[in-house]
């Protein structure tokens, strides 16, 4: 298959990529070109470390299903983290209070992942790596680096990981450095939360009981 049109333009910016979508062509033609370019071009930037992506649809008015079709194509590239999607009818709706963005990858030493909203990371955070979110952080892997949930001041945010061995935890403005023995003990899935302004750690099975807003995430 050869795509000669230029309905999808990918531009690099200081902190990620911008996908500029033609707002006049047929939507199916746009989606077809998007799939093709993700598979056959720009492989030097569409693989490897996690990259923030802003999607600009111009004046194209899309339904939620059409917008989701675009996002699903982009999410197949595990290192692309969708930060925003702009269209006339909605902006950043995928980052509303209850939505969770899922990405696959490893946050290595020296890497910093910033995200607006709630994040489910299918991978590890290595020592020296950092994950920062305005909402909740769920890590289906090992947390051995630093995690900051509720970075915009949300004290009800939580940090959950399959293996808890962080170098530092932070929720809103509260910072906790766990004891050294965390690396040595056998740990199951745990989460951190604030109670009366103090950092607390508990088994993930107790999230629903202790965190009243977690019902929104039962489907994760």
For the domain bounded by 100-217, which CATH number is listed?
2.160.20.70
Please list the residues that pair with 135 across neighbouring strands: none
Q: What is the pLDDT of residue 154?
A: 92
Mean pLDDT for 60-72 is 85
**Is the pLDDT score of 166 beyond 80?**
yes
Torsions phi, psi of 149, nearest 5? -100, 155
Q: Rounded to an integer, what distance in angstroms lies between the CA atom of residue 34 and that of residue 32?
A: 5
Q: What is the pLDDT of residue 133?
A: 92
**Of the candidates 68, 146, 67, which has an alpha carbon nearest to the alpha carbon of residue 107?**
146
Q: What is the pLDDT of residue 94?
A: 45
Burial of 26-45, coded b for 16+ CB within 10 Å and e otherwise, reads: ebeebbbbbbebbeeeeeee
Count of residues making up the chain = 220
CATH 3.30.750 domain span(s) along the chain: 8-95
Mean pLDDT for 17-29 is 90
Mean pLDDT for 20-39 is 90
Q: Which stretch of 39-43, 119-123, 150-154, 166-170 has the lowest confidence by average pLDDT?
A: 39-43
Q: What is the pLDDT of residue 15?
A: 77
DSSP label at residue 94: G
Torsion sign across C-alpha atoms 14, 17, 23, 25: positive
- Say which CATH topology domain 8-95 has: Transcription Regulator spoIIAA (3.30.750)
CATH 2.160.20.70 domain span(s) along the chain: 100-217
Mean pLDDT for 184-208 is 80
Q: What is the pLDDT of residue 149?
A: 96
SS (H, E, C) 13-68: ECCEEEEEECCCCCHHHHHHHHHHHHHHCCCCCCCCCCEEEEEECCCCCCCHHHHH
Torsion sign across C-alpha atoms 218, 215, 101, 128: negative
Q: What is the pLDDT of residue 126?
A: 93
**Of the candidates 76, 160, 174, which has an alpha carbon nearest to the alpha carbon of residue 125?**
160
Q: What is the pLDDT of residue 173?
A: 93
Name the percent of the chain in helix, strand, coil, to the closest 5. Answer: 20, 40, 40
pLDDT for 89-147, tens place per residue? Answer: 544 444 444 577 777 788 888 888 888 888 888 889 999 999 999 999 999 999 999 99
**Is the pLDDT score of 162 beyond 60?**
yes
Most confidently modeled range among 20-34, 48-62, 200-214? 20-34
């Amino acid at each position: 298959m050869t795509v000669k049109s230029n309905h999808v333009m990918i531009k690099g910016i200081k902190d990620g990529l911008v996908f500029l979508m033609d707002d006049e062509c047929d939507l199916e033609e746009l989606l077809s070109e998007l799939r093709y370019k993700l598979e056959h071009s720009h492989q030097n930037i569409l693989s490897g470390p996690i990259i923030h992506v802003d999607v600009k649809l111009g004046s194209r008015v899309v339904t939620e299903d059409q917008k989701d079709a675009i996002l699903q194509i982009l999410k197949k590239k595990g290192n692309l983290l969708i930060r925003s999607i702009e269209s006339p009818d909605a902006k950043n709706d995928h980052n509303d209070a209850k939505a969770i963005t899922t990405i696959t990858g490893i946050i290595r030493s020296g890497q910093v992942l910033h995200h607006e909203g709630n994040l489910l990371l299918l991978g590890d955070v290595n020592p020296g790596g950092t994950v920062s979110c305005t909402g909740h952080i769920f890590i289906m892997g090992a947390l051995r680096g630093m995690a900051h949930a509720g970075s915009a001041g949300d004290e009800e945010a939580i940090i959950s990981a399959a293996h808890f061995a962080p170098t530092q935890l932070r929720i809103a403005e509260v910072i906790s450095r766990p004891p050294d023995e965390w690396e040595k003990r056998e740990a199951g899935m745990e989460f951190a939360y604030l109670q009366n302004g103090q950092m607390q750690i508990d088994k993930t099975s107790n999230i629903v009981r202790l965190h009243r807003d977690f019902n929104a995430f039962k489907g994760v």
